[in-house]
Amino acid sequence: MTAEDYLNGQVLLIDKPLHWTSFQAVNKMKWALKSKLNLPKKFKIGHAGTLDPLASGLLLVCTGKFTKKITELQGQPKEYTGTFFIGATTPSYDLETEIDQTFPSSHIDEALIHETVKQFLGEIDQKPPIFSAIKKDGVRLYEHARAGVEVEITSRKTTIYEFEITRIALPEIDFRVVCSKGTYIRSLAYDFGKAMQSGSHLTALRRTKIGDYKVENALTPEEFEKVILNSEAAE
């Protein structure tokens, strides 16, 4: 593609690696595009929906005029796969923080797990994790958390369209979830454990789809960089 193609607008499918921030992924792409295609300083590029560093998978990156589509793309249903660890919680609901509590789990069997899934299908009330970027009184929740400040977090409506257990090897449970914008899978992990009279936290997460876009059609940021740098120079 030429510089004009990117300026007119593209939706690029990127497979964000584990431990990368979404910003780092976009920045690498931006550098490659500017280096090769001599794009203007104010070239527009942005992603439609952040992925945490501890998650991998599909990141939609919009360029040029298509940056206007970001809000629309963010609103599409998303599919995730991952792993819950049953019997323990962490303050961040994932591996960002250490285990703070352990719970009984000997009563949990496959029947209870599959029965509990039903509680989370459809529209549910969900509280975002305290370690999240949502703002409360102008300050991001994770900043309150790291400062040791307790804040009241308001629950909000979200929708789980599909929730499937794909592997049970306690204390691990693998899952696949299709959900609406604004769903926190970390909160789902926490609430799922609580619903089974135990605890749970998220140990792996991968975003596999956004709307009709699939991660199997995506390139890593480094693969994208190689494609751009090895392509013929734009006219």
**What is the value of pTM for the model shown?**
0.89
Count CB atoms within 10 A of the CB of residue 222: 13
Predicted pLDDT of residue 235: 38
Give the torsion sign (CA, 42, 13, 189, 177): positive
- pLDDT for residue 234: 40
The pLDDT, as a whole number, for residue 40 is: 82
Q: Known catalytic residue: 125?
A: no
pLDDT of residue 150: 64
**Active-site residue, from 52, 109, 125, 212:** 52
- The pLDDT of residue 233 is 44
Tell me, what's the pLDDT at 13? 97
Consecutive sets of 10 residues in the chain, 235 residues long: mean pLDDT of each?
Answer: 86 96 93 85 88 94 93 95 98 93 97 97 90 56 55 82 98 98 94 97 98 97 90 49
- Cα separation, 47 vs 173, in Å, equals 30
| pLDDT on residue 73 | 93
Long-range contacts of residues 72-76, Cβ cutoff 8 Å, at least 24 apart: 73/11, 73/48, 73/49, 73/210, 73/211, 74/48, 74/49, 74/181, 75/181, 76/181, 76/210, 76/211
